[in-house]
Amino acid sequence: MTIEPLLALMAALRDPETGCPWDIAQTSASIAPYAVEEAYEVVDAIRRDDAGDLRDELGDLLFQVVFHARMAEEAGRFTFADVVGAIVAKMIRRHPHVFASDGSPVPAGSALRDPGAVARQWAAIKAAERAGRPERDPGPLGGIAHALPALSRAEKLSARAATYGFDWTDPADVIAKVREETDEVADALAHGTRAELTEEVGDLLFSVANLARHLGIDPEYSLNSGNMKFERRFTAMAARLAANGTTLEDASLDTMETAWTAAKRAEKES
């Protein structure tokens, strides 16, 4: 199936006389949170390796794109075709190792084949694009979306700073920085104010995001994996307590620690 039935469906939903009252009442601002939610649900389906859910969640995310494009078209700003044209042109521009400027394929054997070199080329092209247009946030770190999750934004800020040479050369140095920031949190806990403690915890989280970048790990993805592991093990711990006739509310910390260790060991053995 092509995209046309979805575009027609969206137009029908937004029809002022016969459409859906809820859809008609929406604005780009009112549905913006759904785009974020649907993107996270796509990532969750990928993480669970659930092809059926991934198909459905990609559809939900695509629907958000079509919804925003339809409202923009109604306002005379741009159309869905403009969205497609803009991203095709951008991808051609950012892949000179695959496409010539007219979109035709480059000759075989003349393209970059090293992923690292491709990533550096991509970053350079993006930097040139930023230099050629007015920045929403002027300055060397401008253009990094404020709506990103804080951990992801920390990784992107440190990555941008690294393009100017402001970076460590060895992950071991970043680990030392994490330890330094941990010590500063401990000092703030012992002697500082609440505001100072909050600031030091932020510095610690920023340095951990920096470490993830140096190790080639997405910090947001990594933390989500840690969340899922904790949830899985906590649930298994509760099940062990229940099997022994104990509830979470009634169990002592030592009892919970014992059940946690057993759940952790069982998970590793399986």
Q: Does 135 have pLDDT greater than 70? A: no
- pLDDT, residue 226, reads 92
The answer for residues whose C-beta is within 8 angstroms of residue 99's C-beta and 6 or more apart is 92, 105, 106
How much is the average pLDDT of 36-60? 93
List C-alpha distances in Å: 30 to 26, 34, 42, 61. Answer: 6, 9, 21, 16
Q: Does 36 have pLDDT greater than 70? A: yes
Confidence of residue 23 (pLDDT cuts 50, 70, 90): very high
Q: Does 84 have pLDDT greater than 70? A: yes
- pLDDT, residue 111, reads 66
How much is the average pLDDT of 69-95? 96
Percentage with pLDDT > 90 across the chain? 72
Instruction: Tell me how far apart the alpha carbons of residues 71 and 27 are, in angstroms, rounded to a whole number.
Output: 7
pLDDT digits (tens, 9 = 90+) for 138-196: 688 888 888 888 999 999 999 999 988 999 989 999 999 999 999 999 999 999 999 99
Q: Does 29 have pLDDT greater than 80? A: yes
DSSP string, the chain: --SHHHHHHHHHHT-TTTS-HHHHH--HHHHHHHHHHHHHHHHHHHHTT-HHHHHHHHHHHHHHHHHHHHHHHHTTS--HHHHHHHHHHHHHHH-TTTB-TTSPBPPTTSS---HHHHHHHHHHHHHHHHHTS--SS-STTTT--TTS-HHHHHHHHHHHHHTTT-S-SSHHHHHHHHHHHHHHHHHHHHH--HHHHHHHHHHHHHHHHHHHHHTT--HHHHHHHHHHHHHHHHHHHHHHHHHTT--TTT--HHHHHHHHHHHHHHHHH-
Lowest mean pLDDT segment, chosen from 106-110, 152-156, 166-170, 200-204: 106-110
pLDDT digits (tens, 9 = 90+) for 206-258: 999 999 999 999 998 899 889 999 999 999 999 999 999 999 999 999 999 99
Kindly report the CATH class assigned to 4-131. mainly alpha
Q: For the chain, what is the mean pLDDT?
A: 92
Instruction: Please state which of the four CATH numbers 1.10.760.10, 1.10.287.1080, 3.30.360.10, 3.30.70.1450 is assigned to the domain occupying 150-217.
Output: 1.10.287.1080
Confidence of residue 109 (pLDDT cuts 50, 70, 90): low
Confidence of residue 110 (pLDDT cuts 50, 70, 90): low
Q: Break the chain into its structural domains and give their ranges.
A: 4-131, 150-217, 221-269
Q: Does 89 have pLDDT greater than 90? A: yes
- pLDDT, residue 270, reads 80
Q: Do domains 4-131 and 150-217 have the same CATH topology?
A: yes
